[in-house]
Structure 1
């Protein structure tokens, strides 16, 4: 037997649920005076009529939120952040608003699937600051790197450049057409085509903590002051 949405018994049951939820959508909060309210079954049991459910299995939703719940229109809540990537330029497009984006944030909804969106849309749909926090972190990292590269603390001669970062000695030597990087007396096997690339590599290794991890893993003594600060 098909469910009858026009039956008096369903209308009475529906009205009771809506009254229990305070005459407003439980998802977006819109009141009955501003929208059409409907009752959504959180689960369906084969053979049961619409009104043959426990009240706890039914919730009041506005027409829009009800359509989102059934995947008829794209939901504006319930999304989960699952990853991100940097395209290196404004060559991407947000699946939600269509704007050009550099940083893509992958989000997922169990009833809609996956989207690739920009910072603002990611924050709005996931109801979080996942994207904004990441962008702020990237900008802070890039700003620090720029300051390190251009620092007045670099001591330079014709083929030799040196400084300190986080108590580590950093030396960059120009050999023929490439630059060689040494951090804390550990010479990198990689050859860099420019001085800026060598400086960037030194910054990233120390800023990210990877060089500290390398030292600890290989039983390389850290600077004394560094070890003291770590114990505090």
Structure 2
């Protein structure tokens, strides 16, 4: 699972709050002390919380949001849908109000979406999905950091570099406009990234997900079919 989905949720919430003029749609409170939350009027299975049209949601203060959902938060039927590393204690668990760095997004068919810590995620989902997912998430982050900082990178005079991972040669090259793009086994990439680090992260995620292996295998198959047809 890609781990940056909460940033999309935060951007969606920020846009909704702007559209609502920074006020609760029910009680109209909008002081800096008021915590505003996005309330989904309907829920569509399989749709991420930030994939709803603006007119299908309202912005409510925490009190009005609780009233809208029946005041009592359900204790079961929650599902974990994403994790995120905020980089510091920049978040707050919406269940216990403790500061958090590693955010877990959980959703309920009737209550909606919340950002919580791993322990609250465990309690709400009645499982160890929060703590286990957290451990897996940290493991993934550590492997990504090791990849970026690896001494095995061969650095080229033009600032590019290359490394082999999962039997794939990853080459990161600078573009003429100062950006970076990665190639796989001499197959030229198309997407540009603003920084070298962003290109390294994107290449790591693409290889780790297995999509790079699938893409290269499919490309080899198409080339073999084309050569057979021309012979």
Gaps of 5+ in 2: 1-69, 223-231
| Map of 2:123 onto structure 1 | 124
Flag the structure with higher helix content: 2
Partner of 1:144: 143
CA-CA distance at 1:78 after TM superposition: 2.7
**Higher RCO by CA contacts (8 Å cutoff, separation 6 or greater):** 2
Query: Structure 1, unaligned stretches of length 5 or more?
Result: 1-70, 222-232
Q: For 1:152-203, what per-residue CA distance to the aligned partner results, in whole angstroms no more than 9, with x for missing partners?
A: 1111132141210011112222344222321112111122332222222221
The 1:149–1:73 alpha-carbon spacing in structure 2 relative to 1, beyond 3 Å, is: closer
Matched with 1:157 is 156
Greater share of residues in strand = 1
1:107–1:196 CA distance, 2 compared to 1 (3 A): closer
SS at match of 1:138: helix
CA contact (8 A) 1:84 1:105 kept: yes
Give the equivalent residue in structure 1 for 2:98: 99
RMSD: 2.7
> Given the two structures, how large is their TM-score scaled by the length of structure 1?
0.54
- In structure 2, the residue matched to 1:216 is 217
Instruction: Tell me if the contact between 1:94 and 1:100 (Cα under 8 Å) persists in the aligned partners.
Output: yes
Structure 1 contact 82–108 (Cα < 8 Å) conserved:
no
Correspondence list, 1:54-133, <5 A: 73-74=72-73, 77-86=75-84, 88=86, 90-102=89-101, 103-108=103-108, 113-114=111-112, 116=114, 117-133=116-132
Shift of 1:207: 0.8
| Separation of aligned partners in 2, 1:172 and 1:129 | 38
| TM-score for both structures, normalised by structure 2 | 0.54
Alpha-carbon distance in 2 for matches of 1:165, 1:220 = 21
1:11-45 deviation per Cα after TM superposition (whole angstroms, max 9, x unaligned): xxxxxxxxxxxxxxxxxxxxxxxxxxxxxxxxxxx
Post-superposition Cα deviations, 1:70-93, rounded to whole Å, max 9, x if no partner, equal: x88545x43421523537354443
Deviation of the 1:138 alpha carbon: 1.7
8 Å Cα contact 2:80-2:104 kept in structure 1: no
| SS at 1:190 equivalent | coil
* 1:129-151 Cα distance to aligned partner (Å, 9 max, x none): 11122222221111111111111
Match for residue 166 of structure 2?
166
